[in-house]
Amino acid sequence: MFHIAVCDDEEYFRIREKKLIEEYMKNRGFACQTDLFPSGKEMLEAAESIQQYDVIFLDISMEEMDGIETARRIRQVSPDVYIVFVTAYITYALEGYKVNAVRYLLKEDTGLESALKECLDTIAALMDYAEVKCEIDFQGGSKSIPVDSILYVESRLHKVIFFVMEDGVKEYYKYGRLDEVEPELRQYGFFRVHQSFLVNMRLVKSVERYVARLKNGTEVSISKKYYRDTEMEYIRVQGEI
């Protein structure tokens, strides 16, 4: 899954960029989570979350803290994130490359959509990104789902419910037991944290006593029985990411 942030103090451009990014991801069949920030200051206040992002789209001309300074501070926290400047002012291009920006896109350019697609194509190639999908027979039909879009799976009233990030969080279900889907999902990094829950450990932001907090803000309960093993698995996965 791509984790992307858009930081711009103009709401119109935040929404436009998010729409273009998500259209691109949908057309490529990639799972994506896009977060929006109205200022560099607000983004940096969530510094512990910056490392989760693969790509950050930054406006340069913002009040209080401009995009160049925001990028410098981001680099202190996350040296590997791909930074893309989207701005109306080409005069800042040299400063952008000093913070190792991968692209410099013009807001007012009528070719912004195609430029953004080319930019994301390049980043996907640099990441050697390939979406892993699994085929699941849900009630109502089979569906191919990107593994990294599945947040967690819950067993409830003889149903196995998959919580999937698709324009928000959607639920798909099939009849059966969690024990029946666990062996297949384990190979994709899902871990039993509760008698009723399997969690995609690559999407876990933190593990605190008896709660797994996922990167989209969802919280999943961890039972006392599974807590220690979940904590150890979280540490192991963080070492691989």
Query: What confidence tens digit (pLDDT) does each residue in 126-142 have?
Result: 887 767 888 899 998 99
Mean pLDDT of 170-184: 93
pLDDT of residue 92: 59
Q: Which residues contact 81 (CB under 8 A, 6 or more apart)?
A: 50, 51, 53, 54, 55, 56, 74
Query: What confidence tens digit (pLDDT) does each residue in 69-125 have?
Result: 999 999 888 888 999 988 877 665 556 566 778 888 888 767 888 889 999 999 988
Pick 131 or 211 by higher pLDDT.
211
Catalogue all structural domains in the chain, each as residue range(s) with its CATH number. Answer: 2-126 (3.40.50.2300), 133-240 (2.40.50.1020)
pLDDT of residue 26: 83
Q: Are 100 and 75 in contact (CB under 8 A)?
A: yes
pLDDT of residue 95: 60
Which letter does DSSP use for residue 189 in this model?
A: T
Report the candidate in 208, 218, 223, 234 with the shortest Cα–Cα distance to residue 164: 218
pLDDT exceeds 60 at position 151: yes
**pLDDT bracket for residue 28 (50, 70, 90):** confident
Round the average pLDDT of the chain to a whole number and report it. Answer: 88
pLDDT of residue 237: 86
pLDDT of residue 96: 58
Cα 235 to the center of its chain, rounded Å: 19
Strands 197-200 and 150-156, bridge-based pairing: antiparallel
- The DSSP annotation for 196-237 comes to TEEEEGGGEEEEETTEEEETTS-EEE--HHHHHHHHHHHHHH
Which letter does DSSP use for residue 9 in this model?
A: S
User: What are the Cα distances from residue 91, in Å, to 6, 116, 175, 180?
Assistant: 21, 19, 59, 59
What percent of the chain is modeled with pLDDT above 90? 48
User: What are the Cα distances from residue 7, in Å, to 16, 36, 118, 167, 173?
Assistant: 12, 6, 20, 20, 36
CA distance 62 to 78: 21
Cα 188 to the center of its chain, rounded Å: 17
